[in-house]
Chains A and B, each alone.
Chain A
Amino acid sequence: MPDKGYLALVLHAHLPYIRHPEHEHFLEERWLYEAITETYLPLLKVFERLTRENIPFRLTVSLSPTLLAMLVDPLLKERYLRHLDRLIELADREVGRTYHTPFHEMARNYQEQFREARRVYLEEYQGNLVNAFKKFQEAGRLEIITCAATHGYLPLMMVQPEAVQAQIAVAVNQYKKFFGQTPKGIWLPECGYAPGIDDILKKFNIRYFFTDTHGVLFASHRPRYGVFAPIYCPSGVAAFGRDVESSRQVWSAKEGYPGDFDYREYYRDIGFDLDYEYIRPYIHPDGIRVNTGIKYYRITGRTNHKEPYVPAWAREKAAIHAGNFMFNRELQTRYLNTLMDRPPVIVAPYDAELFGHWWYEGPQWLEYLIRKIRYDQDTIELITPGDYLERFPCNQVARPCTSSWGNKGYHEVWLCRANDWIYRHLHLAAARMIELADTHPYAGGLLNRALNQAARELMLAQSSDWAFIMNTGTMVQYAVNRTKTHLLNFLRLYDEIKSHRIDEGWLRWLEEKNNLFPEMDYRVYSKEYETA
C-alpha cells in the first residue's frame, strides 16, 4: 500500500469586540486594522491566486463571531479606510525618504501592499471580507467553522451550562445568517474543553471540535491512534487533537520557522524608530508611539543588532521552510503508516493572526506549502475535519480530557491570581441572565430590547481575551475596564428589568455602542431553549 496521510491545517481568526464610537482614535481598535491589512487580505490573496491557477486546496478557517461582527460593522469599515489612507500616505513619504538606502525596496513593497489592500478591499470585496471568505467556502476550498460568541472560556463557564449554550447558540445563529448553513465544526476558544461542552455542541448539530494534544491523548480510554485520528465523545461529537510536531515547527518563536534570521523583525517598527516630529502624524494623536506596520529589518541574529531586510532572501526561506514542513509531514506519515491501519490525520492549528502580522512571511509560506503539496509529492493530502469524518465515520469513543492550549495545558492562564476575581461576578451575572430568560418567555418591545442588551453585555464581559490580557500584564487596565463596564451595564439592566423601570435613553446608547449580534435573542439563556 502506498504511504498515505492527511494534513488538516486550521487557521483560527479571532479578535475581541473592540469598537469605541466615542473616540475617533482608539489604540486597541488598531488590532483589527492591522489584522485586515497584514493577515486577512494577504491570506485571501493567496486563496485568490491559487484558485485562479486551479491549484486545489482544503483548509479549515474559524472566524470568531466577534471578528465577523467587526468585519461588517459600518463604523469600523469607515475607520479602517481612514486608517489605511494614513498608512498609504506614510508609505508614500517613506519611498521618498529611503531613496538610495537599503530600505528603499521594502518601502516600495509596503507602498504597493497598502495600495493593493485598499483596491482589493474596496473594489473586489466592496468592503465585505465575510463574503470574501464565504466565496472560498462555496468554491470548496475552505471549511469555515465557528467559535463561541464572544470567545468565552467555556470550561470555566460550565458552572451554568446555559451560559455555554448561549455562547454556542448565538455563534451558530450568526453563522447561519452569514454563511447560509449550519457550521460543521467549532473552534473552542483557547481549545478549552471540559466534559459536557460536547453535549451542548451536539444540540446544535456541530460535528467536531479541536483540543490540544493531551485533550485527546489523556482521554478517559486510551486512544488507539493517539492524536492521529479523532475520537468521539459519548455524545457522538468528534474531537481532533493537535499534533505536537507540526505545531512546534511553526509556533515556536525560537526553534520554529518564524524566528529565522532572514525573516522580518516584528519589533523594529518605524513608529518607534523614526524621529518623533516626522512620525507624529501617523501615530496616536496623543503622541503615543505605536506600530505602523512598516518594518525594515530582518531578525539578523540573537542580539539587538539588526540588518536591513532582504525580500528575496526571506522569500527563499519561506520556500525552504514550506518544503521542510512538507518533508517532515511525509516522514511522519510514513512512520505512522507502519503503526496504524488507516491513514493518519495530522491536525495543525494556528492563530490566523500569526500569519502576516507576526510572521510576515507566513502567507507566502502557506502558499508555497500548498503548491508543493500539489506538485512535489503524493503522500499527504490536505483535508478538513468535516471531510475526514465523511470518509471515516467509525471512530473510537472516549471522553476527552479537560484541557486548553494555554500555558501548562489547563485553565491556569484564565484562572490565576491576576484574574480570579472576575468569576464571582461573571457567574452571578450568568445566573441572573438565566433567571431573566426563564421568567420572561415572551417579552416584547422595550423589555425585549433590554433583555437582549443584557445578554450582549454579559457575553462581552465573558470574552476570554480580558482574562488573558490581565494575566499577561500589558494593557491590563483596558481589560479590567472592559470586564467591569460590561458587568456593570448588565447589573444595571438587570435591576431596571426587575423593577420595571427601563431607562430607554441609556438603553439606546448601549445598543448603539455595544451593537454586536443584532439578531440576539435573549432566550438562548433559557433552560428550555430549543434549537431551530
Chain B
Amino acid sequence: MLFFLSVLGTLILSALIFLWLNKKPHLAEKKPALPEPVAPVPEFKEEFSSELSPPGFAPATPAEPELPRYYGVDRLVLLARDPYWLYAYWEITATKQEEFAAVHGPTAWAGSQPVLRVYDVTGRSPGEQKVASYIDIGINEEADNWHINVGEPDHTFYVDLGRLFPDGRFVTLLRSNTVTTPRASLSERTDEEWMWIEGIYRSYRYQFGLGSPMFAEEMAQRAGALPLGIGSPGQWQKE
C-alpha cells in the first residue's frame, strides 16, 4: 500500500512537473480537474465574447479562495468528538503575547513551553473545579489545534492553554468552554420517570428494579450489531 502510494506520489509529482514545463493555455484548460465551481473564472472557450463584453458586476474572486489565518480574537474552543476524543482549536493574539511578556519578562515566552492542561471536572460544581485532576499535553509552538485522547466517556472537561516554565510554574493564557464526552454504553441509572404530553405536562416518578429482564435478553441478541466501529458494543457484550 505504502509502495503504491509513493509510486502514485511520484507519478503525480512528475505529471505536475510535466504540466508546468508544458504550460500552454490549452493544457491549462484541459486539466482533468472539475470545472472551477464557484469563482466566476472566465471561460476560455468563449474567449471572444468575454473579452469584448464589459466586465459586469461579477467580482473577480480569486480562483483559490483563502480564509484568514488569524481573526485577532483570543479564543480556545473545545469540542467533544466522541466518547474518547476531544478537539480544541485556538488563537492567541499578539496583544495577548505582549501582555504575557509585560508581566513575565521579555524572555519568558521563549523560556517556556506551550502546554494544553486538560481538566477532568466530572460531577464537580463550578466552585470545586479548581481542585480537579488534570493532565498536561506538551504541544509545539506552531500548533493552533489539537485532537486530545481522553478515553473517558461521559466525563466533563475543560482545557487551559498556557505556558509551562522549567520550574513547573504554569501560566494560563486561554481557558476553553466545558464539554462532556458522550456515553458509550447503557446507563447504569434504571430509575424511571414518565411523562404525559397533552398540552399540559404532568409527570410522575417511581423506582424500577435492577434493570428490566428484557434488556439482558435484548442486549445479548443485539450485541455487536450496533453500527459502530469502535469497541463499545463489544465491551458490554463481554460483561
Find out whether the CB atom of A339 lies under 8 angstroms from the CB atom of B217.
yes
Contacts of B188 in A (CB 8 A): 222
Contacts of B183 in A (CB 8 A): 218, 401-402
Bound CA–CA A420/B198 (angstroms): 43
Chain B residue nearest in CB terms to A410: B82
Which of A5-13, A20-28, A110-118, A142-150 is the interface stretch?
A: A20-28
Find out whether the CB atom of B57 lies under 8 angstroms from the CB atom of A482.
no
B136 at the interface (CB under 8 A from A): no
Contacts of B222 in A (CB 8 A): 244
Find out whether the CB atom of A226 lies under 8 angstroms from the CB atom of B145.
no
Bound CA–CA A299/B100 (angstroms): 66
Q: Known contacts A221-B189, A397-B195, A402-B80; decide if A477 and B208 are in contact (CB<8 Å).
A: no
Bound CA–CA A132/B208 (angstroms): 48
B25 at the interface (CB under 8 A from A): no
A276 at the interface (CB under 8 A from B): no
Q: Known contacts A26-B35, A244-B226, A420-B145; decide if A220 and B197 are in contact (CB<8 Å).
A: no
A219 at the interface (CB under 8 A from B): yes
A141 at the interface (CB under 8 A from B): no
Which of B63-71, B120-128, B160-168 is the interface stretch?
A: B63-71
Find out whether the CB atom of A224 lies under 8 angstroms from the CB atom of B196.
no
Q: Known contacts A159-B79, A485-B38; decide if A221 and B193 are in contact (CB<8 Å).
A: yes
B152 at the interface (CB under 8 A from A): no
Contacts of A28 in B (CB 8 A): 37
Q: Known contacts A218-B184, A222-B190, A226-B218; decide if A411 and B228 are in contact (CB<8 Å).
A: no
Bound CA–CA A22/B56 (angstroms): 13
Find out whether the CB atom of A487 lies under 8 angstroms from the CB atom of B37.
no
Q: Known contacts A20-B37, A226-B218, A393-B198; decide if A156 and B182 are in contact (CB<8 Å).
A: no
Contacts of B193 in A (CB 8 A): 221, 396-398
Contacts of B182 in A (CB 8 A): 218, 401-403, 410
Contacts of A245 in B (CB 8 A): 225
Contact with B along A461-496 (1 / 0, CB 8 A): 000000000000001011001101101100100000
Question: Whole-angstrom distance from the CB of B52 to the nearest CB of chain A?
Answer: 18
A270 at the interface (CB under 8 A from B): no
A502 at the interface (CB under 8 A from B): no
Bound CA–CA A394/B206 (angstroms): 14
Central interface residue in A213, A218, A247, A478, by most chain B CB within 10 Å: A218
B227 at the interface (CB under 8 A from A): yes
Find out whether the CB atom of A393 lies under 8 angstroms from the CB atom of B196.
yes
Q: Known contacts A222-B189, A427-B77, A428-B73; decide if A395 and B67 are in contact (CB<8 Å).
A: no
Chain A residue nearest in CB terms to B201: A236
Partner among A226, A475, A487 whose Cβ is within 8 Å of the Cβ of B215: A226
Which residues in chain A, 74-98, are within 8 Å of chain B measured between CB atoms? none
A387 at the interface (CB under 8 A from B): no
Contacts of A482 in B (CB 8 A): 37-38
A423 at the interface (CB under 8 A from B): yes
Chief secondary structure at chain B's binding surface: loop
Q: Known contacts A221-B193, A393-B197, A484-B65; decide if A27 and B203 are in contact (CB<8 Å).
A: no
Contacts of A361 in B (CB 8 A): none
Partner among B30, B33, B81, B89 whose Cβ is within 8 Å of the Cβ of A410: B81
Find out whether the CB atom of A409 lies under 8 angstroms from the CB atom of B33.
no
Bound CA–CA A226/B226 (angstroms): 13
Chief secondary structure at chain A's binding surface: mixed
Which residues in chain B, 63-104, are within 8 Å of chain A measured between CB atoms? 65-68, 71, 73, 75, 77, 79-83, 85, 87, 89, 91
Find out whether the CB atom of B187 lies under 8 angstroms from the CB atom of A491.
no
Contact with A along B143-154 (1 / 0, CB 8 A): 011010000000
Which of A65-73, A173-181, A505-513, A520-528 is the interface stretch?
A: A505-513
Chain B residue nearest in CB terms to A219: B187
Contacts of B196 in A (CB 8 A): 393-394
Bound CA–CA A156/B89 (angstroms): 13
Chain A residue nearest in CB terms to B196: A394
B3 at the interface (CB under 8 A from A): no
Question: Whole-angstrom distance from the CB of B49 to the nearest CB of chain A?
Answer: 14
Partner among A221, A222, A407 whose Cβ is within 8 Å of the Cβ of B229: A407
A122 at the interface (CB under 8 A from B): no
Chain B residue nearest in CB terms to A21: B40
Question: Whole-angstrom distance from the CB of B176 to the nearest CB of chain A?
Answer: 10
B18 at the interface (CB under 8 A from A): no
Q: Known contacts A397-B194, A410-B182; decide if A213 and B34 are in contact (CB<8 Å).
A: no
Find out whether the CB atom of B38 lies under 8 angstroms from the CB atom of A423.
no
Contact with B along A115-158 (1 / 0, CB 8 A): 00000000000000000000000000000000000000000100
Contacts of B71 in A (CB 8 A): 428
Partner among A394, A421, A488 whose Cβ is within 8 Å of the Cβ of B65: A488
Question: Whole-angstrom distance from the CB of B68 to the nearest CB of chain A?
Answer: 7
Contact with B along A187-217 (1 / 0, CB 8 A): 0000000000000000000010000111001
Contacts of B61 in A (CB 8 A): 485, 488
Question: Whole-angstrom distance from the CB of B77 to the nearest CB of chain A?
Answer: 6
B142 at the interface (CB under 8 A from A): no
Question: Whole-angstrom distance from the CB of A158 to the nearest CB of chain B?
Answer: 9
Find out whether the CB atom of A221 lies under 8 angstroms from the CB atom of B191.
yes
Partner among A27, A159, A401, A484 whose Cβ is within 8 Å of the Cβ of B77: A159
Contacts of A508 in B (CB 8 A): 57
Bound CA–CA A120/B206 (angstroms): 56
Contact with B along A308-352 (1 / 0, CB 8 A): 000000000000000000000000000000011000000000000
Find out whether the CB atom of A221 lies under 8 angstroms from the CB atom of B190.
yes
Find out whether the CB atom of A244 lies under 8 angstroms from the CB atom of B59.
no
Partner among B66, B68, B87, B187 whose Cβ is within 8 Å of the Cβ of A420: B87
Partner among A224, A411, A424, A487 whose Cβ is within 8 Å of the Cβ of B192: A224
Q: Known contacts A212-B227, A221-B192, A428-B73; decide if A410 and B214 are in contact (CB<8 Å).
A: no
What are 10 inter-chain pairs, A to B, with CB distance below 8 A? A25-B35, A28-B37, A207-B197, A220-B189, A409-B226, A410-B182, A423-B77, A506-B57, A508-B57, A509-B58
Hey, which bits of chain A sit against chain B, CB under 8 A?
Answer: 20, 22-23, 25-28, 156, 159, 207, 212-214, 217-222, 224-226, 232, 236, 238, 244-245, 247-248, 286, 288, 339-340, 389, 393-398, 401-403, 405, 407-412, 415, 417, 420-421, 423-425, 427-428, 475, 477-478, 481-482, 484-485, 487-488, 491, 505-506, 508-509
Question: Nearest 4 pairs between A and B by C-beta?
Answer: A410-B82, A402-B182, A505-B57, A339-B214
